[in-house]
Amino acid sequence: MFVHAFYVDGLLIDTGQRKAIKEVMAATQGLDVQQIFVTHHHEDHSGNIPQLRQMHDCPAYAPAMTCEMMKVPPRMSFPRRLLWGVREPYNDLIPVSGQVKTNKYCFEVISTPGHAPDMAVLFEPDKRWLFSADLFVNTYIGYMLDDESIAAQIESTRKILKLDFEVMFCAHNPQLKQGKDQLAKKLNFLESFFDKVATQHQKGLSAKQIMKRLKLKEDWLVRTISGGQLSKLNMVKSVIRDLEHKP
């Protein structure tokens, strides 16, 4: 599993996972990194903050919630720690909201909870660029983390689709053409999945029974490697959790 970090006009967006530290440091060594922005606390985005800050002698910014979560990062399963590496607790992130500015560009910082409660994307309206972190990933999602909210992702995606963007710099699957159309397809998938699970839940079925009824197939390799923290069952449980906690 790989992740993209992006560099534009002195701004480095995300820092990669700890297991890729040599590649990340080599790739950024010749860049004039003047500031770092971390989109959310997940290990594949926040794994190399102190090393990159030291190399480039620059400040690192993040949403306020990310700054707090990075002080005591949530526990990771052993397989995730083994494969992707552990992001260290970090106390020196600078909270930012509103905008991140470079010499040439002005990026709007927009909160997009769902995949992670602290996640934010960056939008450059003049260039119609969206640095979407993990909001997109793909038009179809086969598994989710155990703390994700599909309802929140739907709300965040609807909000972002109101923006006038074309290029979508996704952290895992950049969409350099028709990015907005691709994100709209993702929204359609999430809404359809939510409705199907909600219908079965209202009939009194459990999460595992809904998996059977909807003929949803688990990716057991992903579930095993992640220690159960990534699974399709988590997607079903997310819908049920969202329904039960809905005001």
- Per-residue pLDDT at 224: 86
Please state the domain extents for the chain.
6-195
pLDDT at 164 exceeding the cut of 80 = yes
**Residue 5, number of CB atoms within 10 A of its CB:** 21
What percent of the chain is predicted at pLDDT more than 90? Answer: 86
- What number is the average pLDDT over the span 208-232? 91
Give the pLDDT band of residue 108 (cuts 50, 70, 90): very high
- Per-residue pLDDT at 247: 55
Lowest mean pLDDT of 179-183, 197-201, 218-222, 231-235, name the range.
218-222
The string of pLDDT tens digits covering residues 50-76 is 999 999 999 999 999 999 999 999 988
Fold of 6-195: Metallo-beta-lactamase; Chain A (3.60.15)
Query: What is the per-residue burial (b if ≥16 Cβ within 10 Å, else e) of 162-173?
Result: eeebebbbbbee
Helix (H) and strand (E) counts in the chain: 10, 12
- Per-residue pLDDT at 204: 96
| Mean pLDDT computed over every residue of the chain | 95
Q: What is the pTM of this model?
A: 0.94
Give the pLDDT band of residue 119 (cuts 50, 70, 90): very high
